[in-house]
Structure 1
Amino acid sequence: MFGFLKKKRGTADEAGTAAPPPESAAADVDVAAAEPVAEIPAEPAAEPVAAAAEPVPAPKRSWSERLKAGLARTRQQLGGGLASLFGRRRIDEDLLEELEATLLMADCGVEATQHLLGELRTRWKRDRLETADQLQQTLADALHAIIAPLEQPLEVSGHSPYIIMIAGVNGSGKTTSIGKLAKYFQAQGKSVLLAAGDTFRAAAREQLMTWGERNNVTVVAQEGGDAAAVIFDAINAARARKVDVVLADTAGRLPTQLHLMDEIAKVKRVIAKAEPGGPHEVMLVLDANIGQNALAQVQAFDKAIGVTGLVVTKLDGTAKGGVLAAIARQCPKPLRFIGVGEGIDDLQPFRAREFVDALFEPAPGTARSGTEAGGRA
């Protein structure tokens, strides 16, 4: 379906897609940059590839419903999790100890758990809370207060092209997230170009090309070679075509592999040479299933490349949503998006209140809050 347009990096084609690279970039771009870069153009808009390839549930659940379903494991953990603790039971120290264990098992981390329990004990005594139903609303409010500062929507209108560099460990969901982000920005009326900077894994390039086909988005790719060179060419192409957003994939790497962290730092330097001020967003993709290891990843990648935003994926797996509280308390970074499924629309901007409401969704017949239960919370 796709034809390959071969071009040398640094030469302008008939469409004016690439300007000669500045000489200052030569020090950071590998020799492999001279290899032809394949540019996979978007399919004509008349061919609705995405509509045919993406199964549509009938009826389709709303994002709120999908989020509640995705966080079901958090609510149900420890033989019922939070839901098993909250009912008509009275508040006592035994209940608070059980709640402490539940929060720790929910990946909230020690610091966030201690903070939450401190807030609960204060409200318990100050407001004379009596039932666990009242305590549940108090906990929900305290958790919202912790994670609310993470809610900072990504605004991409300040630069053209707006360059988003995507990083993360192997298996975190980087490439899939890029495909979903492309769809999200298109829905906002933005034009998008994908840079297949994961040149170490052939399957990553093919996967990104598939997402490009689904979303009718051009993909700049190269077999093997230097990731920085591919992204450099993609930025030049985006500038020539006045593309709004560039999503640059990078190879997955463990933060303990220092030479690989040096390589991703090089990619960031080359982006800055291709577009002064870029990248405008350094987005780290985290797999929610890794729990407290997410904290170490944020710290390591932030040290290497200066993380400016997070995407937390796979909250519908074996993950416990409390990891967001741990991140907020120990290494806060703007949480741009969360994912709860494999569908193309299952990655959405993070909204703290929406997340907390889904996390504390009551069982049928259970009062929603202390106020509804006749309390003073």
Structure 2
Amino acid sequence: MDYTIFGVAVFIVALLVFGGVFLIRPRKPESRDESAAAPPSGAPAATAVAEPEEREPGGETAAGTATAVAEPPAAPEIEVPPPSAGRLVRLRARLARSQNVFGQSLLGLLSSDRLDDEAWEEIEDTLITADVGVTSAAQIVAGLRTRVKVLGTRTPEEVRRLLREELLTQIDPALDRTVATGPFPGRPAVVMVVGVNGTGKTTTTGKLARVLVGDGRSVVLGAADTFRAAAADQLETWGSRVGAPVVRRDEGADPASVAFDAVARGVEEKTDTVIVDTAGRLHTKTGLMDELGKVKRVVEKKSQVDEVLLVLDATTGQNGLRQARVFAEAVNVSGIVLTKLDGTAKGGIIIQVQRELGVPVKLVGLGEGPDDLAPFDAETFVDAILGDS
């Protein structure tokens, strides 16, 4: 073999192989600007890529064009409720509209020309119809008869003054009607709200929170009505309006543990007042009443319970009084909240429930508005039902 020819052939083959590799190697990508400058054949000329415009504060461009900026969801606005002082005075006209029939009827009877036995019986019946109670009605009539006989005259001014004094004697302005709202050394005040279904218990709890926040108190709410998820939702709505946190659990949770946790949070955060909303229950159901007692006992392992407020519907009359007796036996009620007092002429229930239980009416509900719960004041109440002097 001619090695010279063979060597030349190998050289030519090698040259072809390396040359082909070099010729088919991918070209280095051109710069972005160059590729943009040379669009494919038949394609419309590309527009220059605009750099992001410089933005001015507030989400606008330097040219002043507004741009869409996603805003975070706004936090609910915290309301500042009015203070408790003067609330009943402000609501006096509303109270007078519902109680005026009762008051004016009594004044009319006492101002009549003849006050014989029949007239006095009618006065007593009017008092009983207004849920004053048989015993209290008899005492009021006896007092009025004696004083009218002694005075001998019955001008409208004298009659009004006499009736006012007798009603105040029965309502007893000297009773302590303050709600213990704390704080106390090392712990918050603890308020339990109890009552039967339908009396406005959860609403009263929320309104009471507004009263306290309006007075500058800090509040924690305990949603211990675990039978209804809607009750806890409702309480959270009330709390969010005034910045009061709500302790709640899933529906069906142990109400005593929820109440305990609410008080524990109040202690930890040095809150002024913890208000515990309990489930509505029929006063005839022994098991449910026993459970209410358990809630109170469990809470007292963490802190003293300073108030047990029983919510009563003013329109229920004698039935409301029966309810009050059972609740008082179960949890030692310390005060009454009368709701719907604006819609009934039976405000005499105030006299009767206080007489039967020895427990003062501390708060009254006079409407559907969020700030229609007011501290009860005996003199303002009597003046409202008798009209201006």
Following superposition, the deviation at residue 46 of structure 1 comes to 7.5
Distance in 1 (CA, whole Å) between partners of 2:260 and 2:134 is 43
Deviations, residues 282-318 of structure 1 (Å, cap 9, x unaligned): 1111111111222212211111111111111110113
Pair 1:229-2:257 in alignment = yes
Find the counterpart in structure 2 of residue 20 from structure 1: none
Structure 1 residues 223 and 274, CA, compared in 2 at 3 Å: closer, same or farther? same
Find the counterpart in structure 2 of residue 72 from structure 1: 97
Find the counterpart in structure 1 of residue 215 from structure 2: 188
Structure 1 counterpart of 2:137, one-letter code:
T
Pair 1:142-2:170 in alignment = no
Find the counterpart in structure 1 of residue 182 from structure 2: 157
Find the counterpart in structure 2 of residue 244 from structure 1: 272
Distance in 1 (CA, whole Å) between partners of 2:203 and 2:74 is 22
Whether the aligned pair in 2 keeps the contact of 1:169 and 1:253 (CA below 8 Å) is yes
Whether the aligned pair in 1 keeps the contact of 2:136 and 2:352 (CA below 8 Å) is yes
Whether the aligned pair in 2 keeps the contact of 1:64 and 1:354 (CA below 8 Å) is yes
Q: Secondary structure at the match of 1:274?
A: coil
Whether the aligned pair in 2 keeps the contact of 1:111 and 1:329 (CA below 8 Å) is no
Identity of aligned residues (%): 42
Pair 1:326-2:352 in alignment = yes
Please point out which of 139, 145, 151 is paired with 1:115. Answer: 139
Unmatched 5+ stretches in structure 1: 1-43, 363-367, 369-377
Within-5 A mapping of 1:1-377: 47-50=76-79, 63-76=88-101, 81-82=105-106, 84-85=108-109, 87=111, 89-131=113-155, 134-147=158-171, 148-157=173-182, 159=184, 160-224=187-251, 225-275=253-303, 278-361=304-387, 368=389
Runs of 4+ in 1 over 6 A off after TM superposition: none
Structure 2 counterpart of 1:48, one-letter code:
E
Structure 1 residues 124 and 83, CA, compared in 2 at 3 Å: closer, same or farther? closer
Structure 1 counterpart of 2:355, one-letter code:
R
Whether the aligned pair in 1 keeps the contact of 2:102 and 2:385 (CA below 8 Å) is no
Q: Secondary structure at the match of 1:261?
A: helix
Q: Which moved more, 1:177-186 or 1:65-74?
A: 65-74
Following superposition, the deviation at residue 189 of structure 1 comes to 1.4
Whether the aligned pair in 2 keeps the contact of 1:45 and 1:216 (CA below 8 Å) is no
Q: Secondary structure at the match of 1:200?
A: coil
Following superposition, the deviation at residue 128 of structure 1 comes to 2.1
Deviations, residues 130-178 of structure 1 (Å, cap 9, x unaligned): 3465333212111101112445212323522111011001111111111
Distance in 2 (CA, whole Å) between partners of 1:132 and 1:98 is 18
Q: Secondary structure at the match of 1:172?
A: coil
Whose RCO is larger (CA < 8 A, sep 6+)?
1
Whether the aligned pair in 1 keeps the contact of 2:100 and 2:386 (CA below 8 Å) is yes
Structure 2 counterpart of 1:144, one-letter code:
L
TM-score norm. by structure 1 comes to 0.76
Distance in 2 (CA, whole Å) between partners of 1:199 and 1:154 is 25
Q: Which moved more, 1:294-303 or 1:249-258?
A: 294-303
Distance in 1 (CA, whole Å) between partners of 2:331 and 2:153 is 47
Structure 2 counterpart of 1:176, one-letter code:
T
Q: Secondary structure at the match of 1:107?
A: coil
Distance in 1 (CA, whole Å) between partners of 2:100 and 2:235 is 34
Aligned length: 310
Whether the aligned pair in 1 keeps the contact of 2:88 and 2:375 (CA below 8 Å) is no
Distance in 1 (CA, whole Å) between partners of 2:254 and 2:233 is 17
Deviations, residues 238-261 of structure 1 (Å, cap 9, x unaligned): 111111100000000111100000
Deviations, residues 306-348 of structure 1 (Å, cap 9, x unaligned): 1111111110113511111112322220222111111222111
TM-score norm. by structure 2 comes to 0.74
Structure 2 counterpart of 1:156, one-letter code:
T
**Structure (1 or 2) with the larger CA radius of gyration:** 2
Structure 1 counterpart of 2:296, one-letter code:
K
Distance in 2 (CA, whole Å) between partners of 1:242 and 1:45 is 28
Following superposition, the deviation at residue 349 of structure 1 comes to 1.0
Q: Secondary structure at the match of 2:220?
A: strand
Find the counterpart in structure 2 of residue 22 from structure 1: none
Q: Secondary structure at the match of 1:310?
A: strand
